């Protein structure tokens, strides 16, 4: 079993390497929407070329029919979509009952922008064009070309998105990356922080954030004054461990004993917030509101050009891949206070608090 796992892991790395080379060769026509993107050894944002700036239309009521995107040449009323796939997708978008992250969710609209970026379409989720693009993606990933978004297809995408995060790849080896020397961190300007919080990041990550923010502003997707302000950057491992113990909330989905924020490369940015919710609430209604924002839809297509990758469960959590992880320690050696598995069945989110569930440590 162990040998088999290693073999599969090796094959996965090989696929990543081949995919990475292909991406490198094809760059820039492919946006940074996810998939098995390589970890760039250099930041991507110094490459001068016309950027993909399209923002996929997923807002209701445009669930079917042609995309309203200006300049888009994609045929969203494609006739090569499998059977009733578009109708099935249009219905399941808000009704599919599933557990993509270990807790029950209804519908997949929250993930529609990332899925659209992954399959390379700007068409709405309930359109024939979306189903057609999904069918092509399924065929290229060894799946039946149904054109229907189901947990199996999403699971393959999610694995690719997880593996695009260097932090997760280190975690999967049982290791927790090291923290940088705090003297080497850069401080965000007051206007870059949410609510005046002191935000520190590794300098390269902050520089990339600034370039991305300038481009987002030019693209017209910063619709709220707080948009893209940072509400969490570097978090010292000791302080995080104390918070885990105090709040008993490090069971994995939203918080973990090994947080990516210890690297100085992860940042939580204001995407949007539904009325009554904060910018970090993982309540489903709040995450859905974020996923409908022009900013998030711009990010899933464009942030990769600046070296950023996203944790799909949290629209606000982005990690910069322009520098490597620092040597770390085994996760098993970390303090575990506050991370005891929750044995109660997951509960529905109440007043902005996330439901608790025990899942793999791949979160923020």
As measured in angstroms, the least distance from the Cβ of 237 to Zn ion is 14
Q: How far is the CB of 200 from Zn ion (least distance, A)?
A: 14
- Closest CB 253 distance from Zn ion, rounded Å: 12
Closest distance between Zn ion and the C-beta of residue 266, in Å?
A: 5
9 phi/psi in degrees, rounded to 5: -60, -40
54 or 114: CB nearest Zn ion: 114
* Residue with smaller CB distance to Zn ion, 32 or 315: 315
**H-helix or E-strand spanning residue 9:** helix 2-26
Instruction: Using CB positions, name the residue nearest to Zn ion.
Output: 364
DSSP string, 233-246: ----HHHHHHHHHH
Residue 105 or 240: the one with the smaller Cβ distance to Zn ion is 240
Q: CB of residue 259 vs Zn ion: minimum separation in angstroms?
A: 7
CB 97 within 8 A of CB 14: no
Instruction: Name the phi and psi angles at 232, rounded to 5.
Output: -160, 130
| Cα(109)–Cα(291) distance, integer angstroms | 8
Phi first, then psi, for residue 237 (nearest 5°) are -55, -40
Instruction: Decide: 289 and 261 in contact? Cβ < 8 Å.
Output: no
Question: Which residue's CB is nearer to Zn ion, number 34 or number 147?
Answer: 34
Give min distance, CB of 212 to Zn ion, in A.
16
**Chain contacts with Zn ion (rule: CB under 5 A):** 268, 317, 364
Helical spans, DSSP H, in 93-202: 112-119, 128-140, 151-163, 166-172
Closer CB to Zn ion, residue 192 or residue 268?
268
Q: How many residues are there in the chain?
A: 364
């Amino acid at each position: 079993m162990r040998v088999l796992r290693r073999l599969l892991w090796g094959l996965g790395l090989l696929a990543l390497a081949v995919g990475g080379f292909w991406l490198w060769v094809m760059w820039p026509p492919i946006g940074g929407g996810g998939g098995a993107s390589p970890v760039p050894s250099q930041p991507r944002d110094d490459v001068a070329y016309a950027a993909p700036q399209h923002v996929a239309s997923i807002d209701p009521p445009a669930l079917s029919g042609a995309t309203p995107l200006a300049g888009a040449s994609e045929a969203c009323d494609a006739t090569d979509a499998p059977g009733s796939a578009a109708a099935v997708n249009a219905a399941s978008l808000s009704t599919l009952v599933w557990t993509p992250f270990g807790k029950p969710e209804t519908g997949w609209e929250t993930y529609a922008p990332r899925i659209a970026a992954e399959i390379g379409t700007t068409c709405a989720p309930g359109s024939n064009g979306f189903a057609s693009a999904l069918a092509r993606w399924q065929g290229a990933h060894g799946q039946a070309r149904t054109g229907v978004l189901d947990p199996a297809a999403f699971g393959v995408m999610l694995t690719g998105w997880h593996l695009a995060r260097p932090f997760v790849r280190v975690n999967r080896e049982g290791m927790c990356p090291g923290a940088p020397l705090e003297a080497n961190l850069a401080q965000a300007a007051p206007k870059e922080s949410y609510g005046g919080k002191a935000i520190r990041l590794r300098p390269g990550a902050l520089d990339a954030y600034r370039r991305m923010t300038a481009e987002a502003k030019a693209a017209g997707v910063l619709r709220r004054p707080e948009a893209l302000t940072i509400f969490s950057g570097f978090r010292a491992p000791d302080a995080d461990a104390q918070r885990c113990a105090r709040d008993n909330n490090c069971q994995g989905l939203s918080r973990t004993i090994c947080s990516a924020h210890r690297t100085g490369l992860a940042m939580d940015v204001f995407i949007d917030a539904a009325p009554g919710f904060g910018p970090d609430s993982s309540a489903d209604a709040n995450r859905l509101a974020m996923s409908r924002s022009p900013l998030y839809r711009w990010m899933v297509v464009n942030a990769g050009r600046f070296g950023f990758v996203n944790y799909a469960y949290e629209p606000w959590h982005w990690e910069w891949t322009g520098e490597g992880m620092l040597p770390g320690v085994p996760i098993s050696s970390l303090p575990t206070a506050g991370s005891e598995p929750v044995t109660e069945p997951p509960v529905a989110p109440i007043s902005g608090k996330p439901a608790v569930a025990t899942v793999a440590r791949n979160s923020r």
